[in-house]
Amino acid sequence: MITEPLYAADAYRRDAPGTVVSVTEAGAIVLDQSLFYPTGGGQPGDGGVLRWDGQETAIAEARKGEDGAIDLIPVEGAALPPVGAAVVQEIDWTRRFSHMKVHTCLHLLSVVIHLPVSGGAISAGKGRLDFAMPDPPEDKPGLEAALQALIDRDLEVGEDWITNAELEASPGLVKTMSVAPPRGAGRIRLVRIGQGESQVDLQPCGGTHVRKTGEIGRIRLGKIEKKGRMNRRVYVHLET
């Protein structure tokens, strides 16, 4: 059962109908289509609520299930809608939008720090990237200023699609060494920041992003930690 990923078509949509197609042995709810982004690529899964027939179930997290399904994990002890039930799904928009801002900001951080990325993670209000960076940066305030300047350009964030073969012919598009590009149906989604001569970044990504970089707002670079002999972890925080 493949769940249609509604979040991929419109990351700003907050509610949508759905039909329960199954409930797993572990108690996860599977819908025919999902607004809930499932944990992956360093981005946490969405939470929210399902409503049906005067009842509701709080969803703690969405995860990738079997055979392309998206498993919605209810909070402990919550009532489960029956298979076949028509539901209204609503995501926790505050949580989702924060993830969107942080995720796009991390793409820009990989522009400012032009080094291979060895890992990353997103949470509400902050995120981090691990870089192949043997020595600490000499000018942390300069990096923060450069990142803020990119954000303030209010660049458009869009997407392109290429084939698996085209990606293999352009390995430089892949910045993250620890996460494989999202593949499916022979196509790979590229997230593009900026248009034409104003383009600053293009890389494979299956996550959710803001439409314009200005939506990120003010940021602050946090700790830069040494992680092994050749890696450093750089934190970024949303200030607005």
pLDDT for res 165: 76
Choose among 58, 57, 55, 70: nearest CA to 24. 70
pLDDT for res 172: 67
pLDDT for res 175: 64
In the three-class reduction of DSSP (H, G, I as helix; E, B as strand; rest coil), residue 146 is classed as helix
pLDDT for res 38: 98
Query: Can you give the residue ranges of every domain in the chain?
Result: 4-91, 96-238
Domains 4-91 and 96-238 share a fold: no
- How far apart CA 48 and CA 15 sit, in angstroms, is 10
Please state, rounded to an integer, the average pLDDT across all residues of the chain: 93
At what angle are helices 93-112 and 140-152 packed, to 10 degrees?
Answer: 120
pLDDT for res 187: 80
In CATH, 4-91 is 2.60.34.10: no
pLDDT for res 164: 75
pLDDT for res 89: 98
pLDDT for res 213: 98
- How far apart CA 212 and CA 193 sit, in angstroms, is 8
The count of other CB atoms within 10 Å of the CB of residue 173 is 15
In the three-class reduction of DSSP (H, G, I as helix; E, B as strand; rest coil), residue 204 is classed as strand
pLDDT for res 184: 58
Residues of the chain with pLDDT under 70: 1, 169, 171-185
Q: What are phi and psi of 113, to 5 degrees?
A: -105, 95
pLDDT for res 239: 96
96-238 has which CATH code?
3.30.980.10
Secondary structure (DSSP) of 82-144 = PTT-EEEEEE-HHHHHHHHHHHHHHHHHHHHS-S-EEEEEEETTEEEEEEE-SS--S-HHHHH
pTM of the shown model = 0.92
